[in-house]
Each structure stands twice: as C-alpha cells, then as structure tokens.
Amino acid sequence: MRKRILAVIAALTAAVTLLTSCMQRNEPDISKDPLPSLTTTESETLRAEVTAVPIEETSTSETTEETTEKETTTSETTTEKTESSSETTTVPTEGTKAPETTPSTIVMTVTPPETEAPPTETTTAPPETTASSETAAPPTETTTEQTTTLPEIITKVPETTAASQNQSKAQVNPITGKTIITRPYSYYKLTAEEQAVYDEIYDHAMNLDIEFTFSEPKDIDTIYKIYELLVNEEIELFYLDNKFYYSGTPATKMKLGYTDTKLNIKKKKQDLNTATQEILAKVTSGMSDYDMVKLFHDEIIRTCVYDTEATNNIYGALVEKRTMCQGYAGAFLRLCNLTGIPALSITGSTNEPHMWNMVKIDGEWYHIDLTWDDPDKEDYPEFCRYDYFGLDTATIKKLRTIDNYSYSLPEATSDRYNYFVKSKLLADSYEGAKLMVTNELYNCVKEKGYGIQIKCATPELFREVSSKMLTASNADGFAILEEVNAAAGGGVIETESIYYTADEGTLVIKIYLKYLS
C-alpha cells in the first residue's frame, strides 16, 4: 500500500530531534504528524540509596536468617527496591529510551521532477532507535581458530585485595589470553584499606552469608561507602538488597539482605552463567578487542528487548531477555570482564536518568550505549544500530549529561574504533555519500538485508545528503534504488518507495529496503 508523503518529527530533547520520513512523488502534499512520546511506567533505581541499620535497634525476629530472607525477598520483575514503611526512598526514573519509529515510506511514480512534492525539512535530530541490518555492515573479521567451549564461568573470583591485583592468583581467559577482570573500575580508585573492606563484604555476599563477623572492626562510614558501591556497581551482586545491618561502633558484625531466597539466587546464578557461556562460546582466539566488543554489542541487542516492566539487571538482560538500561549496561560489562576487556558503566541523563558503558579498545576509551542502539524488534528483529558505538567524550556530552563522580572517569578522545570510522562508512562529501549508499545497498540486497546506514562527517553534509537524497524534489535516492535493483536483475526491491531515518544528533542516515517477494 502506498502511503502519503510524511515527515514525523519528534522533539525528544531540547537540543535534538528525531526525523523519520516518508515521501510519495505522486501526492504533492506533505503532512507532519507528532511522534507519540514514550513514557516510563515504572520507576528505575539507577543509584540506589543505601540504608544502614544498627542491629541493636532491630527486633529479635529481624535478626534471624529465616526472617531476613523473607523480608528482603522482592519481585525480580520490578525495577524499584522498596524499603519498609518510613524508610522507603524515592528515586528518579530512568531516562526514556529513544522512541522507536517505523521508518515511513517515500513513494514515487515515473513523473518529471517538477511534479514532485517539495522537499521535507530536516531538523536537528536526537537518538532514534531504529537500526541497520548487520548484513549491510562489513563482517567481523575472525580466524578459523576456534574453541567452541570455554571453561566454567567463575562465580567466586580469586581474592584481589589491598594494594594491587595479585597476578599469581588472577585467572586468565584461555581464549583471549587476558586476565579476567573481577572488580569494577571504581574499586581501583579506593584506598588499600577500603579495598580490603570491599573484598570482605563481597566474599560474604557471593557466598550468600546472612551475618558475619569482620576480621577486625570497621569504620561505619567506610562500610557505608563500600556497600553503596557494591549495590550500585558490582554487577555480580544483582541480588544484594540496599539495606544492611551492623553491630558496634566501629562495626564488628554485619548482616546482609538479599532480594530473593538463597535457593532462588543460586538457581539464577546458574542460569546466568549458562546464558553468558552461550555468548562467550562465540569468541575465537583470532578476535581483536574491537571484534569482541562488537560481538557483545550485537548479541545483547539481538536477543534482548527493552521493557520498562522487566528485571533491570544482568539477569534480566541475559536470562529473561527483557530489561532496561542497567541490564543492557551490566550484561555488556559482564562479558567484557570475563574476556579481560576493561569497561565500566556510566550514569547520567538524557531527559531522565540513564546508564551506558565505556570500553577500552587497544588502549583507548570509547562510549557505547546498547540501550539506544537497540532497534524496533517488531519491525526489524535482526537490526543493530551503531549510532552510539565508539563515541568520544566530546560527542557524548552533546547528547546527554554525565553524573558527577567522586573519582575521575576515563576520557575518550579517539574515533579510531567508532563503528562508522572502522567500517569505512563515514562520508566526507556528497559524492562520497552517494557512492557509499549505492555500494552498501547493493551488498545489502545480495544478502537480503533490511537496510544500510552511513554517517556524515559534518552537520552541513548531513543536511545536504538528507535534502538531495531523501526528499521528493531532489530524490537521488530513487535513482540509486533503481540502479541497485537493475544490478540485482530487476524486480527484486521496491523502487517507488524509500524508508529512511535521519538523526542529526549522531549524523547517521539509514535507508531500509522493501522486497517484492
């Protein structure tokens, strides 16, 4: 069915706007319809507030293991931890994911250019969530050397306390040859004394101990600081409650709370390791850091669905396959940790709180956001966007704000492993963009892919490409489709319509294909 010329423009942030367009050359009018906004229906805790309770103030029933488990068991399908009565903490909601819009159609009839509809106006665009097909992107380089099974994933890692990580105790991934990372980035910003407290609490939490005695008395403020890091940044302790109990000043004993029973947590850990192993089994000995990062990015995005009512942690992302930003970021971080690739999670905000990652590739740091690279699964189930793959800090700060941290974050200054730079899909001229689009569409048709994506080097080029290639009055895009269709033997793809999205925030343009059979 042919559709009208349509430009859907949604104001998602103060700085940028998403444009998803559809044209018809046989209907001269252009209508503009507002894009429906997506709102979060559940609150999401990005940085949980920790509550410390002296054991002396609790009732006798609260100090038993049975009662503690019963009180701290909460539903895994909610994204907000709730404390009892007056101790409930109100937390901000997560930043709404960039709306996923089905690309509209540009439809033409064989008529002279002067009868075409006037060009649609491209405005500054924010992150869309439509993605290009992997088949349109250059294949990941791998070698034939491959081990199909990896050793059992370690759930209780070797002790790496105090001043430095003990290399003699460190475990090495046998495929990558890299040391498995067992602590978050923030851990290495702690003092030796704080690391020792972290390790002691971590070990007991990994063992699901309810109450334990410290090796020596600990300062309450230090315990609070460390527990806050464990709740917010230690992805392996996805079941740790944000309330803890202590005895003495300084503290000699500590009691932990969990969000489920021991039996259920152990089962979840097993399921989590199985799901993680399925992805890690695809890692080969010949893969570069970039290859592995792209593999993790693509696998998580293809198998996981963004869901505001889902479990928002690594279990939700890897096992239940439904999650929000914390789950995407945590799952990516876990895979990087187990292959020895340095990475961390970043919190900040778009129009609301949000979380994404930084990853170190060949010695250089990059921002990567799997949540906003996730496509519309209903219309494009195999798509992976790469708008947010390998951005530098200057670029990411134009698209969102980064929270203030008590320690310094890495600075991302390189674009060498930006997806479009690495894949040679960064256009620096209009003629270059035309050639790039033609070649990519031709390869996409051969592979029966959904579509292609390129990035423009400047906002000026982005607007030129959008105007000349994606508007009815200057529809070079139609000519390219006809050329590609003819090269494929004719009658393969629809050449009277073009589905596209254009995002001036990331300078990425995507064109989608519609097959005739």
Residue-by-residue DSSP string for 302-327:
HH-EE-TTS--SHHIIIIISEE-HHH
Poorest-pLDDT segment among 66-80, 319-333, 403-417: 66-80
Specify the DSSP element, H or E, that contains 246.
strand 240-247
Q: Let me know if residue 259 belongs to a domain.
A: yes
Q: What is residue 417's predicted lDDT score, i.e. its pLDDT?
A: 98
pTM for the model: 0.75
Q: Which two tokens stand for residue 92?
A: 């901000």
Q: Let me know if residue 476 belongs to a domain.
A: no
Burial class (CB in 10 A: 0-12, 13-18, 19+), 238: buried
pLDDT in tens, 427-477: 999 999 999 999 999 999 999 998 999 999 999 999 999 999 998 777 799
Q: Mean pLDDT, to the nearest integer, of 317-326?
A: 97
- What is the number of structural domains in the chain? 1
pLDDT in tens, 104-127: 444 432 222 332 332 333 333 333
Q: Which amino acid belongs to residue 343?
A: A
Q: Let me know if residue 222 belongs to a domain.
A: yes
Q: Let me know if residue 387 belongs to a domain.
A: no
Q: Let me know if residue 418 belongs to a domain.
A: no
Q: Let me know if residue 39 belongs to a domain.
A: no
Task: Tell me which residue of 319, 360, 334, 343 sits closest to 157, measured CA to CA.
Answer: 334
Buried b (16+ CB within 10 A) or exposed e, 128-153: bbbbbbbbbbeeeebeeeeeeebeeb
The DSSP bridge partners found for residue 211 are 255
Domain that holds residue 228: 51-84+152-264
Q: Let me know if residue 173 belongs to a domain.
A: yes
Q: How confident is the model at residue 96 (pLDDT cuts 50, 70, 90)?
A: low
Contacts of 345 (CB under 8 A, 6+ apart): 184, 233, 235, 326, 329, 330, 333, 355, 356, 357
Q: Mean pLDDT, to the nearest integer, of 78-102?
A: 40
pLDDT in tens, 401-416: 999 998 999 999 999 9
Residues 100, 478: Cα–Cα separation, whole Å: 25
Q: Let me know if residue 56 belongs to a domain.
A: yes
Contact 393, 367 (CB under 8 A): yes
